[in-house]
């Protein structure tokens, strides 16, 4: 039986709506947070193990790489928070239409971008 459905396996040619991008980014930020929490718990354990461990973590957190990782984790947290609030608003019955979903996605991206820039200024 020959299927008449089109087959497009080239993901670069598929045009996704903005709502799909915000949904994918929400999931990616959740995965980043999951991995990041493990790193933060390891640093906390090291810092609480001894005074030398505390000084080691303190010295490490002053490096530019650690600041970049901290900023990335904070960025993931902020985006995940804003997108989560959008989902809560949609669960209450607001912004469930196609236009409302697109507007909500644009608001999520704009608010997240502002908060991420402010977090970068705060960390650096």
* pLDDT at residue 10 in the model: 75
H-helix segments, 1-97? 18-49, 51-61, 64-91
How far is residue 71's CA from residue 14's CA, in Å, rounded to a whole number?
A: 31
* pLDDT at residue 1 in the model: 62
How far is residue 68's CA from residue 61's CA, in Å, rounded to a whole number?
A: 10
Select the more confidently predicted residue: 23 or 124. Answer: 23
Domain count, the chain: 1
How far is residue 38's CA from residue 22's CA, in Å, rounded to a whole number?
A: 25
How far is residue 19's CA from residue 33's CA, in Å, rounded to a whole number?
A: 21
| Domain assignment of residue 55, yes or no | yes
* pLDDT at residue 4 in the model: 76
* pLDDT at residue 15 in the model: 84
* 26 in a known ligand binding site: no
Asked if residue 48 has pLDDT above 80, the reply is yes
Average pLDDT value over all residues in the chain = 93
Least Cα distance to 95 among 46, 8, 122, 85 occurs for 85
| Domain assignment of residue 74, yes or no | yes
Domain that includes residue 26, residue range: 17-121
What CATH number corresponds to the domain at position 95? 1.20.1300.10
| Domain assignment of residue 108, yes or no | yes
Select the more confidently predicted residue: 16 or 47. Answer: 47
| Domain assignment of residue 12, yes or no | no
CB atoms within 10 A of CB 86: 21
What would the pLDDT profile of 73-119 be if each residue is shown by its tens digit?
999 999 999 999 999 999 999 989 999 999 999 999 999 999 999 99
| Domain assignment of residue 96, yes or no | yes
SS3 121: helix
Asked if residue 3 has pLDDT above 90, the reply is no
How far is it between the farthest Cα atoms of the chain?
A: 71
| Domain assignment of residue 9, yes or no | no
What would the pLDDT profile of 17-27 be if each residue is shown by its tens digit?
999 999 999 99
């Amino acid at each position: 039986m020959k299927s008449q459905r089109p087959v497009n396996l080239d993901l670069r040619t598929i045009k996704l709506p903005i709502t799909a991008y915000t949904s994918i980014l929400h999931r990616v930020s959740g995965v980043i947070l999951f991995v990041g929490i493990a790193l933060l718990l390891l640093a906390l354990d090291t810092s609480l193990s001894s005074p030398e461990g505390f000084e080691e973590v303190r010295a490490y957190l002053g490096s530019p790489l650690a600041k970049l990782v901290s900023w990335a984790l904070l960025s993931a947290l902020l985006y995940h928070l804003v997108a989560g609030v959008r989902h809560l608003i949609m669960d209450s019955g607001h912004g469930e239409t196609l236009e409302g979903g697109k507007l909500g996605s644009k608001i999520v991206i704009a608010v997240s971008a502002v908060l991420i820039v402010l977090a970068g200024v705060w960390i650096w």
